[in-house]
Each structure stands twice: as C-alpha cells, then as structure tokens.
C-alpha cells in the first residue's frame, strides 16, 4: 500500500470512528471555535486537573481534515501535562506547515500531506487552536 493511501485511511478512520467525540459532565473548560471561511466549528471540552489534561471531548461539524484532526488531538493530549500539551500544539503547527516532526501518537503523521494545501492548514489546526486557547484560558 502506498503511504498516501495508508494516510488517507487513517484520516477517514478518525473521521468515521471519531475518538473522544461527545461531551462530559465533569468540571471542564469549554472552547468554541469556528473557521469563518467555511463554517466548520468545534466545541472542545477539557478537564484540566493537577496540571494535566485528564480528559478531552469534542463535538462539531466540518470536513474530514478538521474532524479527524480533532479526534487525533484529543487522543494525543489525554494524560499530558499542560506544558506537554502546549508543546504538542507547537509541534503540530510546525508539522502542518511542512516541518518533519515525530509524534508519540503516530496517527497524527497521516496529516502530513495537508502542508501542501495551504487552504486546508486551517482545517487541520482548528482543534489545536482550541486546545491552546483552553489551556491558556485556564492559566
């Protein structure tokens, strides 16, 4: 299988079988963001406890790139300290612009092709911007 095909499958898997989609009752920070150019939106809920991201859940609507990226982000960030989560968001920004970055949660690397399509970079970063906002808002 070509790497592109594999990556496409990983993206579609996260789109069709989203991880951490939904809401939670626990005390949490909620961040609502949208992409004004297309109307995609995300509502991200972060449960921040003891300096860590204990749980992350999201709802929203959008293209396969924005929603699969949200699924990947929530999966990658769970259990991370706030500093680690911010570093992850920084790494993602560099990665999505085309720098080579490795992630512990390898599914994220399936989005590497997005860097060639500037219009889609915003799609992929929507959830990560929400993550950053949520952590900064809590501090």
Q: Does 74 bind ligand FES (CB under 6 A)?
A: no
**Residue showing the smallest CB distance to ligand FES in the complex:** 123
Question: In terms of C-beta density within 10 A (0-12 exposed, 13-18 middle, 19 or more buried), how is residue 111 classed?
Answer: buried
Round to whole Å and give the CA distance between 17 and 67.
10
Q: Does 35 bind ligand FES (CB under 6 A)?
A: yes
Phi and psi, residue 38, nearest 5°? -135, -15
Let me know: does 76 contact 87? Beta carbons within 8 Å: no
Q: Does 40 bind ligand FES (CB under 6 A)?
A: yes
Q: Does 60 bind ligand FES (CB under 6 A)?
A: no
Q: Does 34 bind ligand FES (CB under 6 A)?
A: no
Q: Which is nearer to ligand FES, 51 or 118 (CB)?
A: 118
Residue 25, strand partner residues:
none
User: Minimum distance from CB of 41 to ligand FES (Å)?
Assistant: 9
Distance of CA 85 to the CA centre of its chain: 11
User: Minimum distance from CB of 97 to ligand FES (Å)?
Assistant: 16
Phi and psi, residue 53, nearest 5°? -85, 105
Task: Tell me how many residues contact ligand FES (CB under 6 A).
Answer: 9
Binding site for ligand FES (CB under 6 A): 35, 38, 40, 62-63, 65-66, 123, 126
């Amino acid at each position: 299988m070509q790497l592109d095909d594999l990556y496409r499958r990983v993206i579609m898997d996260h789109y069709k079988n989203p991880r951490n989609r939904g809401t939670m009752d626990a005390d949490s920070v909620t961040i609502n963001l949208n992409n004004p150019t297309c109307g995609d939106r995300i509502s991200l809920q972060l449960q921040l406890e003891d300096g860590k991201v204990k749980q992350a859940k999201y709802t929203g609507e959008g293209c396969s790139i924005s929603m699969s990226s949200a699924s990947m982000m929530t999966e990658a960030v769970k259990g991370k300290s706030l500093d680690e989560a911010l570093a992850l968001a920084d790494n993602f920004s560099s990665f999505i612009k085309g720098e080579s970055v490795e992630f512990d949660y390898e599914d994220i690397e399936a989005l590497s092709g997005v860097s060639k399509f500037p219009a889609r970079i915003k799609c992929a970063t929507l959830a990560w911007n929400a993550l950053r906002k949520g952590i900064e808002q809590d501090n």
